[in-house]
Every structure is written in C-alpha cells, then in structure tokens.
Structure 1
Amino acid sequence: MIARIAATLVALAVPLPATADIDIQEVTSPGGIDAWLVEDDSIPFVALEFWFIGGSGLDPAEARGATYLMTGLLEEGAADMDAQAFAAAQEALATSFVVDSFRDAIVVSAQMLTQNRDAAADLLRAALVEPRFDADAIERTRGQVISIIESNERDPSDIATTTFNRLAYGDHPYGTTQEGTVEVVSRLTREDIVAAYRATLTRDRVVVGAAGDITPEELGLLIDRILGDLPAEAPPRPGPAEFGLEGGVTVVDFPTPQASVFFGHAGIARDDPDFFAAFVLNQVLGGGGFRSRLMEQVRVERGLTYGIGTFLSLADLSPTLLGQFSSSNDLVAQAIEVVQAEWADLAENGITQDELDAAIRYMTGEYPLRFDGNATIAGILAAMQSDDMPVEYIENRNAYVEAVTLEDVRRVAARLLRPEDLHFVVVGRPEGLSPGN
C-alpha cells in the first residue's frame, strides 16, 4: 500500500566498525526541533529519519484506518505535482522517501545525495506540508488498503494477532488493527484523511535522526526547511492501554491444517530498573533462536513446530511479553502444554550460568553489527529519542547487558513470568481444544 521508490542509495550506506563507537551530536534547529546526528563525510550522502509520535493510535474510533490510508497518500502527489510528477521528481533527484504508519508513530525515512540535498528537501517538504490527497489517488490507495485488509482476514497468523489484541485491549486503539475494517475504510472521506494528517504530523511530536554528509548547522537549517511549516501541536494521545486478558485459550475456527498460535501476557517497560535482566531472560526463553529454551523443547526435543519465538513488545502504552508459533492441529495442544511448562520452570528456577553466559556473549557480540549504514543509524537515533533514551545509551548498552547477574535474571523471572496469566489464541481446528477454552 505504501509506495516504495527503488532504493538507489542503499549501496551508499557506510558500514561502521564493529565497536559501535559512534559520535552522536545533539542538534536543535533554529525553529526549536531537536535531532541527533552522526556526521560522516566519507561519501556525499545523508539519511534522515523523522518519527512523529502518536501514529495511528490517534485515529478516532469511527475513523479507524484514516491515518494508515493517509500515510499511503503522502507519496501520491504534493503541491503542483500529481502522483506521476512526484514520482518522476524523486527519480530525477535519485532520492528515496518512505512513509510507514505504526500504532505509536508515523515514520518518514529519506535518503539523498549531498549535491541534490536542497532540492530533495524541498520535495520532501512538499510531501509533508502540501499533500494533495487527490480524489483518484484516494480511491486507488483505498483499494490497496482494502486488499490488504481482506488478505489479512484470510491469514491465520494475522487473525491470531488481531484476536489477541482485541481480547486484550477492547475499545482502546491497541485493540483494533491500524488498517481499519473494510466497512470503515470504504466510507472514509477526504475530510477524514485531512483530519488524520493534521492530527499526526506536528512539530511538537517529532524526533529526528540523521547520519551522513551534513554538519550540525546544515542539519538544523534542513530540518526547519522540511518541517518548519507543519502545525505546532498535536491532540492528546489515548491513555494507557490496560491489558485485560486473563490466562486461558481462545480458539478461532479456521479451515487450515496448520494452526497459528499467538500468546503472551503483560510485560515490562523499557525504563523499568529490571528491563535488562528481562531482556536477557527473554533471550534464553524464546528470543535466541535455536539457543532458546522454547525452541529446544518444542521443536528440537519434540518436533511440535518448525519455529517458536518470544519478544518483549515495548509499545508505548502497554508493554507485553509475547510469542508465536505454528503447529499441526493434532500437535498444537501438546505444544501449548510444553510452553506452559517451560514458562513455569523458568519462573520457579530461573536460568543456568551457562545460559546466562551464552546469552550475554551473543547479545553483546551482535549489537555493534546493527550499525551497518547511515540509514540504519538514522533510524536507531530516532528510535532512541522516541523511547527517551540518553545519548550515551549506545556507548553503555553492552555494559548494561554484561552487568546482569544470575540472581537478577532469577528474580525477574519470578516477577515477570506468570504461567497462570498466559493466554493463547489458536487459529485453526486444533484437536483437544475447543472454542471458549
């Protein structure tokens, strides 16, 4: 649904050393917009990332899906350019813009050559400040969104996730899909789209990451050039999303030989003092691929699935600990029992020293590899700001992981892992499980 221009600049992304020793400069534009910059003039290229905090979670209930539809239109014409003229202008400048919608943010990623930077910035400004929302573009993009919704409604994995969120969050925006429903999207008007645009793209909720061939002074001026004419303030965000799902199993009948399972319970916030211990714990539980307990017990030992994983979801308004896997209908009930047993064992007994050492070794070793180019770095810088992380986080992150002790993980496992609260949504026709379990 969101048009993605061919990434002509991907090859220009500059890999950094594996030490992840990067110099982050804090910048405030003349207009008062904050940004973080990693300056590198080794090639004439810069990557920018703008995160507008709020995202599709700002949609009113009666217009759920308006923000998702709106973001798909930001590359479909701006100012005096229709969709074709806008695409041609991007191609002529060898620049790339991508706009993505999430429930907590709208993310705008841009890559441009130094020699075309001012013209590329003006084009991006036009997309963000002067979108056209032409009738033909609306109908074309609406059709694409409806196709996505209908496809998701036939996908067992998407059904499982959507059902879990609806049961957990009810009427809160977290309880619905950001794409909306066919019924609602079909009746969204241009006025609804304009309202979503005005509510989400504002200067008070934007954070900026930048990496590449640009100085702090140039970046400040460029930010104001692109964003300075956006509205100053956004409407209030929704309140906290209370996780209202108790332990148990929900079965959604669906004709498929392979049942899809989505499961979890309330989690832990990033700013919690125990977060890094929980981070390491999840690596051992289900975040470490073939090194994890669940993969070992559910796949390797018993052959109940091809893969299973867990992750700490750090959604702004409701952190959770979640997992997912698929299994044949005749084996899925047994797989759920194994997950519950491993959850309970870790909660009671924690992890071993060998597991702790392996998790820390992997987590500290792979971290520097994430900083593999300007576009990636710009995204990391924006994400850090959106989570209110300090500028020193990258320098200190591995030390935080290495400081986690066996006792820390055991204590946090007893606090965080609650097998009695685990809820499983199973989409399929599982044997031994029935709707309402």
Structure 2
Amino acid sequence: MTQNLLSKSVRYLSLSLLLAMSVSSHAEDYRATTIVDPNAPIAALSTLTSLDNVKPLQITVPDIEQFTTTSGVRVSFVRTTALPIVDIDLRFNAGSARDGSIRTEGYGIANMAATMLTQGTTRLDEEAFTRASETLGINLGSSAYKDMFIVSLRSLSDDEHLLPAIDLMTQMLTEATFDEQILARNKARLLVGLQQQKQDPSSLASLAFNEALYGTHPYAHPSSGTLQSVPSINRADLLDFTDRYLVAANASLAMTGNLTSSEAKALAEDITANLPKGQAAAVLPEPKPLTKAQHIHIPFPSSQTTVLMGQLGNKRATDPVAQQQQTNFAIGNEVLAGGDFNARLMTEIRQNLGYTYGISGSMNPMLTRGPYQIGFSTRNDKARAAIDASLSIIDETLTQGITASEMRLTTDNMKNSFPMSFASNAGINGLLGMMNFYQLPNSYLSDYVSRIEQVSLPAVNQTLRDTLEPENFLIVTVGEVDPWNDQ
C-alpha cells in the first residue's frame, strides 16, 4: 500500500512539474524576475532520481454513448456518478455567420436572439423566468459565436430539480416572446458596450483584423453586431432566426452526469420533441486567403502599441489524416508561439529583447478556415523592432525547424495535461459538445495520445512550413505612432 501511495505521489509530482512549466505570460512580477538560462539544468530536479523510473501515465477516456432522438438530433452521453448533477449542451449550426441570411447586414441578430431567450416566454415573463431559474439553483443560458449557437443547462440530477429545469429550457427554445420593450433596452445597453470598444485597443485590433482577413465572408463581422447594425434589429428578425436555425435538423446534443442510459434517452426526447424539424443550415463558403502582406495601422492615444498578426488558418479536421496534421502543427506552434516561457517567441521577444510582457499565437479552427493569430503589446517606439524580430524568429523556425528536445518537452506536456480536459463534468460535456457539433468520431478523443506519440520531427517541421506564410501576414497595429512610417 505504501508503495502504491508513493507511486501515485511521484506521478502526481511529475505531472505537477510539467504543468508548472506553463506559467502565465502576464506575470505581474516580470520586472523583478531574475533571468536565467532556460537550457540550464534545474538543481531541484537533479535530486529527484525517483522520477527516472516513473511509468507512463495511463489514461482512460470517458465512455461515450451515442444515439439519435426521434426528431433526428444526434446525442452524445457520458454517465458520471461522482456528483448529483447533469450538464446539457445543445448546439445549433446557427452562429453569427448566419446573420446575413436573415437580412443583409443584419449583424448581431444571432447574438440578440441568444440574449433574449432567457428574457421571457409565452408562459413566464422575464422576472418570473429569472425567479424560476434562481429558485431551482440552475445555470441556464444561451450564447452565439461565429459558427454555433449554444443553449446550456446545469442542474441537480434529481427529478425535483431536473424536470422543471428541462421545462424552462424547452420554453426558451420554442416559446420565447422577444418582447419589444426588452429588445429596446438590450439594444441601448449593447450600443453603450460597442461605444466602449472604441476605447479598447485590443478590440479595435481584433475587429480590424477580422474585417481585413475575411472581407465579404460571414466571419468578417463581429458576433455582437456593429453600431450601425444593432439599432435596426427587430423582433421579426429574431423570430425568423429562431424559426430557421433553432431546429432539430440543425442541432446536436451533449449530456454528462448522473443519469442512466435510459434516463438520458428519455431526457433527450423531452428536450428535442417540440423543436421544429426544419432544415440543416447551408454550408458556409470558404474564405479566400490573402496573397500578399497587408499592414493596417489604427491611431490610438496610448503609450503602448497593440499588435495582431496572422493569416487564414485551418478548418476543423474531421478525418484521421487531417487530424494528425493539426496535431503536428499544434506541437510545432507550441514550441514557436505557445504561451509558456519555453516558447521561442516568448523567450526572444520578452526575455532576451524585453519588448513585451507576453506574446503568443494560436490556431482557431472552425467550420471553415479560422484565423491563425499572434498578438502582443509593446512600447510605441519599439513596435516596429518587435514586429521585425517576431517575423525573423518565425522565418528562422520555418527554415531550421524545431529541435528534438523542444518537441519532446511539448509532447510530454500535452500528454500529461490531457486528462485535465475531462477532469470535471463541465470539461467532459464541453468536449462532447464540440465533437458532436463538428461530427467528430469518438476516436478523436480516444486517439488523442496516439496522435501525439505518432508525430515525427520532420513531419512537425514540414507541417509548420506548409501552414505558415509570414511573408503574407496581415499585421494590424493600434497605437499613437504608425510603425510603418519612417522614423
């Protein structure tokens, strides 16, 4: 027993040490930190010889049950009995990318519909609906993103709480009133928020980046809408949106919690029974990549310049070959632009050159090609130098590749941190919801570690070269001084 306890403790310590390498890039004590050689051996670790014989981490992924409701909605279910709760995630292919199909330049319609689903039904006005939710102690809400529209519920799993909660959820979906007075109030509040975005350089950079990267594509406009589009949103738009997109043919459902299989199936039927059958949303068009570099500067009264650079990235991979390619890229990009202090951009731009407190880059795959972005902030007078240095490091990495030791550190970190993604009901259900929405097979989760173990150094470096085109990067800067003007 003592040996087993020691083994578990050593494994936990090993995992903790690996996770500790991923320190926040926004550490407040940066200026007081002593810079050390990142390649130097860590004295404390050299004494932990017991780590040399630690067995590989054994991972058991959740057991996923899949079925289809009478109305044709795909369901993924994981039974967990540790806690008396249930998490439900109902997703529709109905994000803000569909706003333009309701009305030309109707930006913000999906977002407003999500806001108002919990603000009154034909049976309960806004106050009564809120009181019912709070009395049950549930988390019930909806949100709209570019690709998807999500209705989520967390409730205790006993019938006394869960059944009334499901009733509220179905009321949201099929009986929302979209009261005119509440709509007017929401628009007024949203317009204030959109005005405030003008004072946020990060928001300005993001808006300009998406608009320039996507042009006329539906991903170009912000999900929340614009100062010009929000005032025109009306009740008829919201009803049209829900009638067209919040339908069974356009839905997928994920459930995790303290339910039996038969209870889960009955619950799924209750949730989806009254959804209109409808039609699946049309396939989104593919965006066109930029063919040459583009630089955009937005004047802003600040001592700091916010920088956002990148390009079109990948769509969500659904077949094993493409998924392996995305794993290859994720490993290479973590070495190049990950958020921890071992990443090359972080080491050079923050630690060695002192241009920024933090720099990182990531891929955001979606139904069509999502963005790849690298972002940081720096002093106005250092902006051009920081941009040039970043591009130089990217070019050098693509030319020379990452090293075997860098790849090994990253793959170990990814494998050992993987269980954290399904360490809670919410984590499991989030994964289920994402997989079901993109119609990913269960092997996407079960083969995750295998995909990491199958990478090779040549394949990782080749994938980086095939994916990134820094010579054609879109670069947006927001600050007092235009870095592209001759100084």
Structure 1 residue 208 displacement after superposition:
1.4
Contact 1:295 1:308 in 2 (8 A): yes
Tell me which amino acid in the other structure corresponds to 1:85: A
Q: How does 1:276-295 map to 2 (within 5 A)?
A: 276-295=327-346
Indicate conservation of the 8 Å contact 1:57/1:237, yes or no. no
Q: Distance in 2 between matches of 1:174 and 1:244?
A: 15
Aligned to 2:149: 106
- The residue correspondences of 1:59-74 to structure 2 (distance < 5 A) are 59-60=99-100, 61-74=104-117
- Aligned equivalent of 1:137: 182
**Separation (CA, whole Å) in 2 of partners of 1:200 and 1:401:** 37
Task: Assess if the C-alpha contact under 8 Å between 1:277 and 1:409 holds in 2.
Answer: yes
Specify the alignment match of 1:126 in structure 2: 171
Q: Secondary structure at the match of 1:290?
A: coil
* Residue pairs, 1:24-423, within 5 angstroms: 24-60=64-100, 61-115=104-158, 116-232=161-277, 233-244=279-290, 246-271=292-317, 272=322, 273-423=324-474
Note the C-alpha offset of 1:401.
Answer: 1.0
- Contact 1:268/1:320 (<8 A) preserved: yes
What is the CA-CA distance between 1:235 and the residue it aligns to?
Answer: 4.4
CA contact (8 A) 2:316 2:368 kept: no
In 2, the alpha carbon distance for the partners of 1:235 and 1:372 equals: 33
1:125 deviates by 0.3
Question: How far apart are the structure 1 equivalents of 2:469 and 2:83?
Answer: 51
- Quote how far apart the aligned CAs of 1:85 are: 0.2
Highest Rg: 1 or 2?
2
Which aligned pairs between 1:10-25 and structure 2 lie closer than 5 A?
A: 19-25=59-65
In 2, the alpha carbon distance for the partners of 1:335 and 1:109 equals 42
Report the CA distance shift for 1:234/1:194 in structure 2 as closer, same or farther (over 3 A).
Answer: farther
Once the two structures are TM-superposed, the CA of residue 185 in structure 1 deviates from its matched residue by 0.8
Instruction: Give how far 1:40 is off.
Output: 1.7
1:391-417 deviation per Cα after TM superposition (whole angstroms, max 9, x unaligned)? 122221011012111111121122122
How many equivalent residue pairs? 419
Q: Matched residues in 1 for 2:483 and 2:316: separation?
A: 38
Instruction: Output the CA distance in 2 between the equivalents of 1:148 and 1:372.
Output: 35
CA distance in 2, matches of 1:211, 1:382: 10
User: In structure 1, what residue type is equivalent to 2:238?
Assistant: I
How far off its partner does 1:429 sit? 2.1
TM-score, structure 2 normalization: 0.82
Asked whether the equivalents of residues 92 and 250 of structure 2 are also in contact (C-alpha less than 8 Å), the reply is yes
Aligned-partner residue type, residue 236 of structure 1: A
CA distance in 1 between partners of 2:89 and 2:430 (Å) = 6
Deviation at 1:20, TM superposition (A): 4.6
Distance change in 2, residues 1:399/1:128 (3 Å) = same
Contact 1:266–1:321 (CA<8 Å) still a contact in 2?
Answer: yes
Shift of 1:144: 2.3
Q: Report if aligned partners of 2:297, 2:482 keep a CA contact under 8 Å in 1.
A: no
Structure 2 distance, partners of 1:70, 1:357, is 46
Looking at structure 2, the residues matched to 41 and 274 of structure 1 have their Cα atoms a distance apart, in angstroms, of 36
Displacement of 1:119 in angstroms is 1.2
Cα distance per residue 1:212-236 (max 9 Å; x no partner): 1112222222222122222222442
Give the CA RMSD over aligned residues: 1.8
CA shift for structure 1 position 176: 1.1
Structure 1 segments unaligned to the other structure (5+ residues): 1-16
Q: Distance in 2 between matches of 1:199 and 1:256?
A: 45
- Cα 1:18–1:328, aligned 2, differ >3 Å: closer, same or farther? farther
Q: Which runs of 5+ in 2 are unaligned?
A: 1-56
